[in-house]
Structure 1
Amino acid sequence: MPAPTELTTLINRFERNLDDYRSGHYNETQVRREFIDPFLKLLGWDVDNTKGYAEQYKDVVHEDAIKVGGSTKAPDYSLRIGGQRKLFVEAKKPSVNIKQDIAPAFQVRRYAWSAKLPLSILTDFEELAVYDCRDKPNKTDKASHARIMYFTFRDYADKWDELMELFSPQAIMQGAFDKFIQSSKKKRGTAEVDDAFLAEISVWRDELARNIALRNPGIKTRSLNHAVQRTIDRLIFLRIAEDRGIEPYGRLRDRAGKANVYQNLTYLFRQADAKYNSGLFHFKTERGRDEASLDTFTLDLALDDKPLRSIIKRLYYPDSPYQFDVIPADILGQVYEQFLGKVIRLTPKGQAKVEEKPEVKKAGGVFYTPTYIVDYIVQQTVGKLVEGKKPGKAGAVSKLRILDPACGSGSFLIGAYQFLLDWHLNEYVQEPERWARGKEPALMQNGSGEWRLTIGERKRILLNNIYGVDIDQQAVEVTKLSLLLKVMEGENEQTMGTQLSLLPERVLPDLSANIQCGNSLIGPDFYDGQMSLGIVDEEEMYRINVFDWDAAFPTIVPWGGFDAVIGNPPYIRMEFFKDWKNYLRTNYKSHDERSDLYAYFIEKAHNLLRTSGNFGMIVSNKFLKAKYGKPLREFLRQNASVSEVVDFAGLPVFKGATVRTIVLHTTKNNLNIIHYTPPLNPDLFNLVDSHTVTVEDAIKIHSYQVAQNSLEEDVWTFAKEEVRILMSRLKGEHPSLDKNSSGNICRGVVSGLTKAFVINAKIRNDILSENPQADEIIKPFLNGRDVRRYQLQPKDLYLIYTFHGVDIKRYPAVEAHLKPFKDRLVKRATRQEWYELQQPQFKFSQYMDNPKIIFPDIATEPRFTLDEKGFYSSNTTYFIPIPDLFLLGLLNSRLGKFYFVTVCAGLEGKNENYLRFFGQYLSGFPVVNLEDSSKEKQQVAMQTRQMLELHKRLAAAQTAHERTLLQRQIAATDRQIDQLVYQLYDLTPAEIAIVEGQS
């Protein structure tokens, strides 16, 4: 498109007065007002908020130019879509050399990198530079470093299409901006702000732990962890307060420049106690303050100056790449979530070692919930609760109580708190003068005339509405820190000072009564009968950390419970918490020996929920179909109404994790309808993940309604109504496979160490040449990947079948082969002789030797075939112990695929989606009951035999032409089998369309 005439006018005016503009007298404010504002408007940005959006939804946020440490405090413009920051624009006066000067380039990159924004713009209108801000900024970088575009004002007209296609709001909403970023390769070795800051504070932890342990002999492990965490939290809090302009810039740095650094820092900590009143700084007993947060320990620690100076130096420009006031709360939370995955341990010699927590190692790491998931869950729970209610002290919203029972670093509580802050502000600005009056006003105006919530109101909302519990004391402290920083967000020294003069108390609330430490799942009755006997040791008490909900929240739990319970509970298998098992078995209806921890959190959450409350969590989707999930499904069916399920399946919601997740919403109100959203396609998910498309919009495109009574089925498939009706008919009219005489479904062998028991042909021959009778226990072997649809592809491998009770002395060559593996074999999970298979499935061995239907436990489609040679197979296979060609044809048919796609759990690979063909899913397969002599049964069996033969010929084919002919014949035979199966099950044309659409 041609450049707009207004742009040409701007360019010509700048050209005419260029010399004047380049003089130092023409300042940044003037160039913003006269050139950069109009330039952004031409790109489509609502610079003046003509649409009248509330503060949190404005397209363009202008920052006040507050000088801090020799540089402006924040970017001049924040460009946003739907309230989400997309890029910064930093303005300079035209006398600045954008092309060559290092400082402004470092500045804009520092802003954007800290805010985790991939691109940002630096401009004085005369020049415009676009930077890739994924590259960690360094004070020695040249101005050209990471610069991906550079224009002068004379280029704007010619490059207008390019600028519009990348930086206009429309381009961003349509995904062009994100596609450009994805197409720009990230430099190898660069770290994003969360990874870099995690590495930074991890170094602090190491340095502080070693020094505190060295200088404070006899310190206990728990006290050491507490001291290190508190010191880091306090430094971060005060440094963020400096960058926000709440504290004088450079106070920490100045104190670190003196002798006795820690004593100087404790002076600042005491000042903070007097000013803020938070549990983070609580050093003396005071009337009305919760003693739980009192710290009488850390101020008296001995610390050397060197590690503290090193830490504090790296917090300031130019050694620090961080701009703390723009680091998003969710990024800080993400860093802390990972940070809390490790703990300090003291060696017998008193040296500090940092290591991963056992439960984190077992779970494969720590995974932080993305902000868009948090926001959606909050909107669907808290958002529904505030509808139609009034704000203010006397309003109904002040009575709402919101809980996260496994709060971690506080991401869900921060999300809920932010939602309530935004909601209250939107309500109050309808009548601003009313809410800005009185001794304790809820509203105030900032220097730009915009209405904001007062500190007092932000405190009131936090203390009234937000509650959390976590078993980890360090996580509790981080949650408090995150919430306190959120209270102060948007404040500076001037606004804080104005409000302090009006407030009867100090700035921040003490959150000890709101955010508590304990085991949400286990109450004090865990110790019934043990206390009186004196058999409870201190370590067990700390590890179990029982929690009394009634005593902790006496005005909430005994009076009906919480209005909303939200979160992301841990997904950890129960074998890791063996000392909890008996308690959970006795006290939870959802108990199953194989349950994950999240199942108990779901039940506990519902028990803590008010009658009219809302539940919303992101959890594993395994319980929907898994056998161990049946008690939980039954509990939910009897105690709640499922209102919504958003199935993310294996989409990468959690970076670096392969867990399959759902967002689950329930209410205790009676509902007839469930809103179900099947997994999004990867392209749409990527748009959601990058905040280009909202979760709400993606759900609107894909969701459909399911009847509440569908939850009465054995597994929860959330199938569409027409699919459910067809499945119900099929299962109602035909006996299931497990009721069929051939329905015994058997699992393959669990060796416990494949390397020892699975051997190749050469090793087999060597053993047999030395010990011929070993042929009795060396069996031909298959893995799941060797089993294909209508064919086997064995790898000439063999299984040493040492069943329980085998006489190993009869097979000395086998024993000699296994001997090098003895140490590893002894350590296997179950008890058996070291040379025996872990689970030989001996009761099925008579079937293994004979012809049978065999299939893999994981496949993209039904892959059933006939084993006519008596292979033994691994636990990645199952088999049905009869060579039934009719049944084989049914299982591999299009109708078979329809059934399995509907009922089987899924699993995502790198390029394909898989189904889990477990016995529990196969057992319900409806099998037409026909006499063996029936014509229809014989026809299917004949065509199935034909398929087996065709696949054998295809495997042996030597030319491309021969393969093509055989593939055509296979496809034709497949279609014939499908048609025969449709006739056997009396499918109508409409039902066939459903089957073929689903499969």
Structure 2
Amino acid sequence: MKFQEISDKLTQFINRYNYLAEDQPANVLFLLKCIVLKYLVDNQRLDFEVHQKDIKKNFTLDYILGLWQGKPLQVSFWEQEQIDPQPIGNEVWDWVSDLTTAAPSLAGENPRLIGSLYEASLLINHKKNHGIFYTPENIATYMASNVLGTYEVGDKLEKIRVLDPACGSGSLLSAIYDTIILKNGELSPCERQTQHRQLLETGLLGVDRDSIACLVTRLILTLKGKQYVKPLGIFCGDILTEELINPQSVDVVIGNPPYVGHKEIQTDYMKLLKNRYGEVYRDKGDLSYCFIYRGWELLKPGGQLIHITSRYFVEAFYGKPLRVFIRKAFAIQEVIDFNGLRVIEGVGVDPAIIKLVKKTQIDEGQTIQVKRFFIKSHKPESYPKLIQSLNQNNWQGDLYESFELLQAQLSDDSWRLYSPVMQGIIEKIEKKTPFTLDNVVQSFQGIITGNDKAFIFEQTDPTLCAFDPALLKSWIKNKDVRAYQITSPQKKILYTNRIGAIDLYPEVVAHLEKHREKLKNRRECKNGKLAWYKLQWGRDPDHFEGRKIIFPYKATQNRFAIDENKCYFSADVYGMILKPRLYHQVTEEFLVMLLNSRLYNYYFKSYGKKLGDKLYEYYPNTLLRLGIPDIKEDTIKVFKDTYDKIVDLKKNGSALESGKILAEIDRWFYDYFELSQAEIAVIETNR
């Protein structure tokens, strides 16, 4: 309630005195000074009544902090603050006085509150525009206590150097500070001040490209002490491209690196990173990959790295170079897989916590502690309970599973973090699958038009009557593809990529002319590779014209169907065509029944890339690694008959009857792979 009242006051000020909003940094800096002043006054480190007239005239951080110190600062606290502050009008000063004296008191509050106020009230638009999301306090506390758990009170802990390479508003460094103080136990005021000074001057290091965020971090750390000490290790800059920290000089790297994909990075900066971090950062890699490599460079031998980061690198195709690097450069101690639960509010990325130790030689017996949350419908208000469960020795078995596996078992193609039960099931499958799906099919992606308004039509659109019917093709999207079924197409695509001379189709020209400017501005048209009237990525039309298996690119479960109606489809759908059957008897019907089975739904999800708590990415590079059994020809014929029955029953809406047949198919595959009843129960409950 206290936090909300102060946050509301700050928001009201921004809305009321919007002339300050024209200069965002000045606006934020002014309000930060107000919060710092209030914190010092409420905690009896500064007498507001005595100094308020002078503060109004000299409303700078240096002056306010100098009053706390008892003498003017010899070295400026924040180098970027104006030396000559703008005068404060009486109306604004009255608001400052009211905030300082009348608002809920901050006495005894952890200065981390300043970071929370900054994030909640002062940074709303800035965060959205720059992809900045800070670490929740409970996660920061868990990470700090986890990584410092091996350090004992004494010389080693007192001399520890901890770096946050993308420190933001200081939540992780604040948690490190608090954890160290807690581990030290009862200290005399003099000992406490000595520890405070050591941490701020040599122990805690932070870097961020956002100068105001660095200021917030400095303020939080400074205000944790009874006496003024300036943090000397917080730098504004880019840890990835600047030499701000000496190599092999830190004991711990703790971080929540930015979640930035290749599409959001400027070309010149990306080239710089690929040149500098080429061992881990290539093609469509994530910026966070560079932070792990940079952390390794800065760590002492035996130093620890703990990051909360996107879990995508565990399975992503473009994460392979990073997986290779981690496996040879670090002993992997722990992986906490939130399994699609987005426990950082507002972040559309699935997080995981990974804890590593820098090693030159990895023991063959190195074990990884894996904690993976079960897929359930958790509401955001329950997330604190999930984080709290990680700290409990008697963890709640209904929230996550905990198991160990050998680091040597990890494959560079994908880290399959399997529990013993899952490992047993997968081993049984792969023991009896001599082929992979990649051996038996060729995959292809759907069409990208570059301008759907120009090429896609409703079936009932009268415009279609003017076109040559040979140019019109049935058009489907992700939602139209179900297991065993494709809904009747409701749209048509004007497929222009087989047109040689556009002048022979005046009705097409007349229609596309309305979109000509946008069509000409497509990249491929501008560089001369594509005629203005063609689809941007029309693919090979022969693939669409033949018999094929299709499936959605993103789905909550396996949805494969055979298309025999020459449907064309968008890029959120993929197709598969059988390769020549030189050494197997696989048919489209068998593959669809296998891939739609409960067993293969479980199999794919055991290593497929997650997108949220239940959604998966069916990218061919991942999907085609599925093992495929070698089935006899007479069995294949039985599957063909069964497939026809399922399709017919689904068309007629006989859900009960089709359900019985599907259950029989599931049982056939369970028996074929020799699964136990206990293993079947796991599959049935994890669908």
TM-score normalised by length of structure 1: 0.62
Deviations 1:285-338 (A, max 9, x none): x5xx5x79556x7232443525642541452455x4x43336654443133236
Q: 2:35 aligns with which of 225, 236, 245?
A: 236
Alignment-derived partner of residue 917 in structure 1: 618
Alignment check: 8 A CA contact 2:38 2:101 kept: no
How far, CA to CA, are the matches of 1:653 and 1:788 in structure 2? 30
Deviations 1:759-789 (A, max 9, x none): 11122x4333x33x2x232210111111111
Does residue 199 (structure 1) correspond to residue 87 (structure 2)? The answer is: no
SS in 1 for 2:284: coil
Residue 905 (structure 1) shift: 1.6
Cα 1:968/1:225, change in 2 over 3 Å: closer
Alignment-derived partner of residue 583 in structure 2: none
How far, CA to CA, are the matches of 2:332 and 2:668 in structure 1? 39
Alignment-derived partner of residue 116 in structure 2: 334
Alignment-derived partner of residue 929 in structure 1: 630
Cα 1:917/1:602, change in 2 over 3 Å: same
SS in 1 for 2:302: strand
Residue 997 (structure 1) shift: 5.2
Residue 470 (structure 1) shift: 0.8
SS in 2 for 1:593: coil
Cα 1:643/1:760, change in 2 over 3 Å: same
Q: 1:946 aligns with which of 645, 651, 655?
A: 645
Q: 1:905 aligns with which of 601, 604, 609?
A: 609
Alignment-derived partner of residue 869 in structure 1: 565
Alignment-derived partner of residue 253 in structure 2: 565
Cα 1:481/1:565, change in 2 over 3 Å: same
Alignment-derived partner of residue 970 in structure 1: 658
How far, CA to CA, are the matches of 1:594 and 1:201 in structure 2? 43
Does residue 361 (structure 1) correspond to residue 129 (structure 2)? The answer is: yes
Alignment check: 8 A CA contact 2:11 2:122 kept: no
How far, CA to CA, are the matches of 2:312 and 2:165 in structure 1? 21
What CA RMSD, in Å, does the superposition of the two structures yield over aligned residues?
3.2
Alignment check: 8 A CA contact 1:625 1:903 kept: yes
How far, CA to CA, are the matches of 1:610 and 1:360 in structure 2? 36
Alignment-derived partner of residue 617 in structure 1: 307
Residue 517 (structure 1) shift: 1.4
Alignment-derived partner of residue 417 in structure 1: 177
How far, CA to CA, are the matches of 2:531 and 2:99 in structure 1? 59
Q: Which amino acid aligns with 1:705?
A: E
Q: Which amino acid aligns with 1:241?
A: L
Alignment check: 8 A CA contact 2:58 2:85 kept: no
Q: Which amino acid aligns with 2:391?
A: E
Cα 1:424/1:937, change in 2 over 3 Å: same
Q: 2:505 aligns with which of 807, 811, 833?
A: 811
Q: Which amino acid aligns with 2:371?
A: T
Q: 2:356 aligns with which of 666, 670, 673?
A: 666
Q: 1:748 aligns with which of 446, 449, 453?
A: 446
Q: Which amino acid aligns with 2:640?
A: A
Deviations 1:458-505 (A, max 9, x none): 2233323211111122221111011112224xxxxxxxxxxxxxxxxx
SS in 2 for 1:862: coil
Residue 416 (structure 1) shift: 0.5
Number of equivalenced pairs: 664
How far, CA to CA, are the matches of 1:273 and 1:804 in structure 2? 76
Alignment check: 8 A CA contact 1:561 1:610 kept: yes
Alignment-derived partner of residue 881 in structure 1: 577
Residue 902 (structure 1) shift: 0.8
Cα 1:948/1:521, change in 2 over 3 Å: same
Alignment-derived partner of residue 458 in structure 1: 196
Alignment check: 8 A CA contact 1:710 1:718 kept: no
Alignment-derived partner of residue 404 in structure 1: 164
How does 1:593-742 map onto structure 2 within 5 Å? 593-669=283-359, 670=362, 672-680=366-374, 681-682=376-377, 686-689=381-384, 693-697=388-392, 701=397, 702=400, 703-712=402-411, 714-741=413-440
Q: Which amino acid aligns with 1:299?
A: I
Q: Which amino acid aligns with 2:202?
A: N
- Give 5+ residue unaligned stretches, structure 2: 579-586
Q: Which amino acid aligns with 1:734?
A: T
Deviations 1:740-765 (A, max 9, x none): 33x111111122333332211122x4
Alignment-derived partner of residue 539 in structure 1: none
Cα 1:691/1:586, change in 2 over 3 Å: closer
Alignment-derived partner of residue 143 in structure 1: none
How far, CA to CA, are the matches of 2:235 and 2:13 in structure 1? 24
Does residue 469 (structure 1) correspond to residue 237 (structure 2)? The answer is: no
Q: Which amino acid aligns with 1:303?
A: P
Deviations 1:894-942 (A, max 9, x none): 2211211212122337xxx2222221222111112245xx212212222
Cα 1:679/1:830, change in 2 over 3 Å: farther
Deviations 1:518-574 (A, max 9, x none): 11111xxxxxxxxxxxxxxxxxxxxxxxx213xxx4xxx34x321111121110123
How far, CA to CA, are the matches of 1:813 and 1:323 in structure 2? 73
SS in 2 for 1:299: coil
Q: 1:850 aligns with which of 546, 559, 563?
A: 546
How far, CA to CA, are the matches of 1:979 and 1:299 in structure 2? 78
Identity %: 25
How far, CA to CA, are the matches of 1:755 and 1:341 in structure 2? 37
Does residue 578 (structure 1) correspond to residue 267 (structure 2)? The answer is: yes
Q: 1:890 aligns with which of 594, 612, 616?
A: 594
Alignment-derived partner of residue 273 in structure 1: 66
Alignment check: 8 A CA contact 2:317 2:622 kept: no
Residue 949 (structure 1) shift: 1.4
How far, CA to CA, are the matches of 1:993 and 1:692 in structure 2? 28
Alignment-derived partner of residue 83 in structure 2: 299
Alignment check: 8 A CA contact 2:164 2:255 kept: yes
Q: 1:548 aligns with which of 216, 240, 243?
A: 243
Q: Which amino acid aligns with 1:510?
A: K
Q: Quick check: which has more Rg, 1 or 2?
A: 1
Cα 1:264/1:378, change in 2 over 3 Å: closer
Deviations 1:45-95 (A, max 9, x none): xxxxxxxxxxxxxxxxxxxxxxxxxxxxxxxxxxxxxxxxxxxxxxxxxxx
Residue 891 (structure 1) shift: 1.0
How far, CA to CA, are the matches of 1:652 and 1:785 in structure 2? 24
Does residue 510 (structure 1) correspond to residue 214 (structure 2)? The answer is: no
Q: Which amino acid aligns with 2:201?
A: L
SS in 2 for 1:840: coil
Alignment check: 8 A CA contact 2:549 2:577 kept: yes
How far, CA to CA, are the matches of 2:595 and 2:471 in structure 1? 32
Alignment check: 8 A CA contact 1:207 1:307 kept: no
Cα 1:736/1:509, change in 2 over 3 Å: farther
Cα 1:805/1:422, change in 2 over 3 Å: farther
Answer 1 or 2: higher relative contact order, Cα 8 Å, separation at least 6: 2
Alignment check: 8 A CA contact 1:598 1:619 kept: yes
Q: Pick which of 780-789 and 942-951 moved more.
A: 942-951
TM-score normalised by length of structure 2: 0.88
How far, CA to CA, are the matches of 2:356 and 2:552 in structure 1? 36
Cα 1:362/1:515, change in 2 over 3 Å: closer
SS in 2 for 1:483: helix
Residue 944 (structure 1) shift: 1.5
Residue 951 (structure 1) shift: 0.8
Alignment check: 8 A CA contact 1:277 1:510 kept: no
Q: Which amino acid aligns with 2:449?
A: S
